[in-house]
Amino acid sequence: MAKENYKEENAFVAGSDESGLCIALWQNQTYEFNIDGISVQVVQTADVSQSGLNKLELLFKNESPARFSLEILIPENTVNACVMLNGQVLIMPMAADWPEKLMPLELSACQQKGEAVSTLRAGEFQKINFRWQKGDKLSIYCV
């Protein structure tokens, strides 16, 4: 997706190579679109807190499973961030000093072994390509 065109808005982008949702603004919004003949609804809620922990949550309300990409802009002023899918850590925090007091993380045994690596970068889009199902909840936490 041509992300540089979407830094000021959120958009569904359809193309011959890939289709997906490009999210640049952390705000409450609902998206409705069709992909491969499947009706998809994604409800986006944003909680920008004074406590320092900001959360963007996406709830998927597909009529049946659908594969598409999400590209989510991690705010430029982010010091640390992580992504969770259905309550499980999907993408590890950017830095080792995750603020457990604000948001405790439960890592799987696999994630606890070895060096943690995160693909999250402040000021950049994080791409997640997944087969989304009804009821999936993707949460992005930033401090």
pLDDT confidence bin for 15, thresholds 50/70/90:
very low
- 24 neighbors 73 (Cβ within 8 angstroms): yes
Please, which residues have CB within 8 angstroms of residue 6's CB and are 6 or more apart in sequence? Answer: 13, 22, 24
Token pair, residue 93, equals 């925090």
Listed by start position, the domains of the chain span: 3-142
How do residues 85-121 score in pLDDT, each as one tens digit?
Answer: 999 888 888 887 777 777 777 765 555 555 566 889 9
Token pair, residue 11, equals 């958009």
pLDDT confidence bin for 16, thresholds 50/70/90:
very low
Fold of 3-142: Immunoglobulin-like (2.60.40)
CA distances, 64 to each of 13, 31, 111, 136 (Å): 20, 16, 30, 12
pLDDT given at position 49: 78
